[in-house]
Amino acid sequence: MTFSRTPCVATWPCAAAKAGARWCGGRRGPTALSPGSCSRSWRRICLRVNEIAPGSRVCLDANVFIYHFCGRSRQATELLLDVEDGQLHGFTTSGVLAEVLHRLMVIEAVSVGAISGASPARALRRRPEVVRALRRYYRDTSSIPAMGVEVIEPGGDLLRASHPLRTGYGLLTNDSLLVAAALGAGMDVLATADRDLARVREIDIALLDDVST
């Protein structure tokens, strides 16, 4: 699916500061920069995806890819186009790629009418002949590196690094692992549709807010 697009325009820091920055949950956090400088004197907790500064290193959550491929978020597609154009540096993890592969497989099986019900993944597990016939999920997932997205293998002890994120913010396992990987790789922004991640203060969160049902 293709969309008309507009370029990614940076509104941080000066334009956003003049307009009044939006803080997720009314929270903000100080950085080491001087509050008097025209720079990021306060870390924004939540951004819109079109407010990510050009040149930023952006970690992409699985739902960004899912909503792009399913045509459910123009913002997701715009974000990936900005990565492909080189305006943003896009990264994701091998774990995210595996999640995208699995979820697109199930979505494809449902979309072709091969399975239905409240537990489609469980239903698909009982239909190996359906899995053998599916193709699009693999084609779409395989195209992600060609979009300019670098797939990284998180280094260090990710299990240990992610534990404070679970105990501190109440994140579930996959979310905490993704945030820990983004922090360990020096990402500037984590792009996601998951509002639970807006609780995290260690990295700027860019939220998709146009996801259709």
Alpha-carbon distance of 28 to 21, in angstroms, equals 10
Tokens, residue 35: 């509050």
Full DSSP string of 159-205: HHHHHHHHHHH---HHHHHHHHHHHHTT-SEEEES-GGGGG--SSEE
Q: Which domain holds residue 115?
A: 14-207
pLDDT given at position 155: 82
Angle (CA) 162 164 169, round 5°: 100
Strands 46-48 and 57-60: unpaired
Count up the domains in the chain and report the number: 1
pLDDT digits (tens, 9 = 90+) for 50-64: 899 999 999 999 999
**What span, in angstroms and rounded, lies between the C-alpha atoms of 100 and 103?**
5
Residue numbers in the chain where pLDDT is lower than 50: 1-42
The verdict on residue 43 lying in a domain is yes
Q: What is the pTM of this model?
A: 0.80
What integer pLDDT is reported at residue 213 of this predicted model?
74
Strand ranges (DSSP E) for the chain?
A: 29-30, 42-43, 46-48, 57-60, 89-93, 150-152, 189-192, 204-207
Domain assignment present for residue 106? The answer is yes
Q: Is residue 110 part of a domain?
A: yes
125 within some domain? yes
> For 154-175, what is each residue's pLDDT tens digit?
888 999 999 999 999 999 999 9
Do β-strands 29-30 and 42-43 pair in parallel, antiparallel, or remain unpaired? antiparallel
Is residue 212 included in any domain, yes or no? no
* Domain contains 2: no
- pLDDT for position 106: 98
**Edge-to-edge strands of the sheet including 204-207?**
46-48, 204-207, 189-192, 57-60, 89-93, 150-152
Identify whether 134 is part of a domain: yes
Q: What is the CATH number of the domain that holds 100?
A: 3.40.50.1010
- Provide the token pair at 42: 């306060």
**Domain-located, residue 213:** no
